[in-house]
Amino acid sequence: MELTITGVGGEGDGVAPGPIYAPFTLPGERVRVTGGGDRRELDAVLEASPERVEPPCPHFGVCGGCALQHWRHDAYLAWKVSRLVHTLSLQRIETEMLAPYAAQPGTRRRVALHARKGSRDAARIGFKARKSWDLVSVATCPIADPAIEAALPMLAKMAAPLFEHPKSAPTLHVTLTPSGLDIEITGVERKSGGLSADARMTVAEVAAEADFARVTMDGEPAYMSRQPTVRLGQAVVALPPGAFLQATPQTEAAMVGFVGEQAGGATRIADLYCGVGTFTFRLAEIAPVYAAEGSAPAVKALTTALATAPGLKGVTAEARDLVRRPVLAEELKKTDVVVFDPPRAGAAEQTAELARSSVAKVIGVSCNPATFARDARVLIDAGFSLDRVLPVDQFLWSPHIELVGVFSR
């Protein structure tokens, strides 16, 4: 079947009237597709868009990690912002949309590599194939920091002994820190007793040979030569195993800078879903901060790091489940600015309390525009206005867009 593509859908596939979806196609293109139903496969581009470019990755089209490498960057970024505007409009929200901040290739410091049994000396590692559980082994990845890319052969070697049990399907969560690579391994079958002592020894030997900073398995230490640390504001934070960090240091810096600018002049700040302190330490340069986060190890890392950052206005941190026990409006009586950065599910319970509070300004950081828009509607109905939004393209060449939104009474 031949189609003329009229737009791009939410998953990054081109859309023709019907609707019929075709991957790797762009608005205005005439294409030939195969298959049935409303989701087809691209067979050939008969008339290409002037916005089509050569994908930089040899794995593009097979690997499921990227969907939009074939689109010229300015047009691709404009589409992402238009999707964000559309998502907000579904909740009847209009606001000032600032110029987006976009991550660059080769800057991703966090990747999750799946491993499958290979040879005795090296597993196969890579990403899941598009629309499949199959693995695409990768030798290169243009979104990843070059230090991660260079480590792929040693990561494959370290994963080789992880397959003693046939049900093991390991994932290597790799984070690049100034101390070196920090690797958390999940998915190794444990019910049968976990890895043998010999396999653990092999993992540690390869980690030492590769000069990895730390390797943990489901949070338990397997090897460590150096404590992985990151600098957040003036603080040096020792990361607990599997700690959450923003995907690239550059987008983190842009978001932290914007949040700090918007919180200027505050007299007391609450940083909710604070993690290890991504925003906390910058905010504590402005005013005293109450920080809350569900992960006790993250809160411990934050509080320990306070000793490395003299001159802050003061931080009180608490391990607190903000779904079961949100910070109540009554607890926020002396707080004039609240920052919240929830997971993809959003912050419905906490937003309800913010709506009841007398807080003057709320700054929402979100990786999911749909749940952000839902929570924003609650705040707007309670008397807030969404003054401006900073779009953040942190997950390059994917359909995902993140944002920082600023609300005031």
State yes or no: 69 annotated in a binding site: no
- Domain chopping of the chain, boundaries: 2-77, 84-104+247-408, 110-229
pLDDT of residue 166: 85
| 337 three-class SS | strand
CA-to-CA dists, residue 20 to 6, 47, 312, angstroms? 10, 18, 55
pLDDT of residue 54: 97
Q: How confident is the model at residue 189 (pLDDT cuts 50, 70, 90)?
A: confident
pLDDT of residue 192: 73
Q: How big is the chain, counted in residues?
A: 409
Q: Which helix (H) or strand (E) holds 149?
A: helix 146-159
Task: Tell me the pLDDT tens digit for each residue of 9-63.
Answer: 999 999 999 899 999 999 999 999 999 899 999 999 999 999 999 999 999 999 9
Residues 6 or more apart whose Cβ sits within 8 Å of residue 270: 289, 290, 291, 292, 327, 332, 335, 337, 338, 339
Output Rg (C-alpha) for the chain, integer angstroms.
23
Whole-number percent of the chain with pLDDT over 90: 94
367 catalytic per annotation: yes
Task: Tell me the pLDDT tens digit for each residue of 334-347.
Answer: 999 999 999 999 99
CATH architecture for segment(s) 110-229: Beta Barrel (2.40)
Task: Tell me the pLDDT tens digit for each residue of 379-403.
Answer: 999 999 999 999 999 999 999 999 9
Amino acid letter for position 360: A
Whether 360 and 408 have beta carbons less than 8 Å apart is answered as yes
pLDDT of residue 182: 98
Question: What number is the average pLDDT over the span 171-186?
Answer: 97
Question: What number is the average pLDDT over the span 360-377?
Answer: 97
pLDDT of residue 270: 98
**Helix/strand/coil (H, E, C) string of 299-326?**
HHHHHHHHHHCCCCCCEEEEECCCCCCC
Q: How confident is the model at residue 368 (pLDDT cuts 50, 70, 90)?
A: very high
State yes or no: 246 annotated in a binding site: yes
For domain 2-77, is the CATH number 3.30.310.10? no
The domain 84-104+247-408: what is its CATH number? 3.40.50.150
pLDDT of residue 193: 74
Q: Is the pLDDT of residue 131 over 90?
A: no
Task: Tell me the pLDDT tens digit for each residue of 208-254.
Answer: 999 999 999 999 999 999 999 999 999 999 999 989 999 999 999 99
State yes or no: 341 annotated in a binding site: yes
The chain-wide mean pLDDT, for the chain, equals: 96
Task: Tell me the pLDDT tens digit for each residue of 284-333.
Answer: 999 999 999 999 999 999 999 999 999 999 999 999 999 999 999 999 99
20: left (phi over 0), alpha (psi -120 to 50) or beta: beta
Residues 351 and 358: their CA atoms lie apart, in Å, by 13
What is the pTM assigned to this prediction? Answer: 0.93
Q: Do domains 2-77 and 110-229 have the same CATH topology?
A: yes
**E-assigned strands of 50-206?**
96-97, 101-102, 110-116, 124-128, 135-137, 171-177, 180-186
Catalytic residue among 63, 66, 274, 367: 367
Q: Is the pLDDT of residue 167 over 90?
A: no
Q: Which helix (H) or strand (E) holds 223?
A: strand 220-224
State yes or no: 293 annotated in a binding site: yes
